[in-house]
Structure 1
């Protein structure tokens, strides 16, 4: 008997994520809603070793409405596709009205970044999801971001394999851009993992 690679719940969450994930953008920290924060320890870390806002492990997930995303893309003159395919300094900068972005994880790092960064540099890299995600997907996203440290490459390879098996070329490309040039040329990646 052959065992399924993904459980039914994982497949449902993957399908929902594929529908709700809109891409990655740079956003002003002040435009992301969170409650109060105690970030004094992170402020010291950021002062000593910088914020590293382009590192995948430091991205912050947030939800928004389709309307808010469309307005921000129109204001920026940016096609939606660029949110899925850009990386590093090419990630588009989007601007939102207060209350349009609801952060799911990363409150303390954003609060520390706001305290430490110069006013013109108070932005963060945000993964954008449509606001009507299920509770199960919301929980999965928070867990994924909170456990990201130390397993970044493994997660990228897993995501590449998952989206390749689903035939989702856009998300496969998005995850491929997160690998260093050296790792992108690895035989396992060339063979389709």
Structure 2
């Protein structure tokens, strides 16, 4: 039998086999639920997924990279489009806090941030994720620019970082039960700095 006809070799190589990748991600989620972040290891995921460690490391260069993809796969945070920036930002933060509070993803992300302080691979993975997250949150601000709510010269990425800083501080200090009044006050302070003249 030719080597490329062997079904066991389909997951070998730099390109991911979707079925194998899904099995690994599902195994990673299950290990995380059962063992928590402290007990999470590539070895445990490989055993559960019946995959080779080299395959996992080929597709995810580190534990942090795998966990970050598990986090992104779990993340279901609605981004409101109410037609008003203040309401969109308040709604986004409320939804994000609820997601972190009510699922395991909050503790996963908190641990990833902690690991990134001493692990260069984790730090690079987190920086890549944050760049995409900034762009996504920036879209809320770009919609507000198009409506004339904020000045066209406002740096959407910088404002997105300010919103993320507020969220990450609450995640890291385990204060995800912040009331809506405080969230709204924070957003209002940001709004005062970026509102278009006359708004």
Superposition TM-score, scaled by structure 1 size: 0.26
Bigger helix fraction: 2
Which one has more relative contact order, counting CA pairs under 8 Å at least 6 apart? 1
Bigger strand fraction: 1
Query: Between Structure 1 and Structure 2, whose CA radius of gyration is higher?
Result: 2
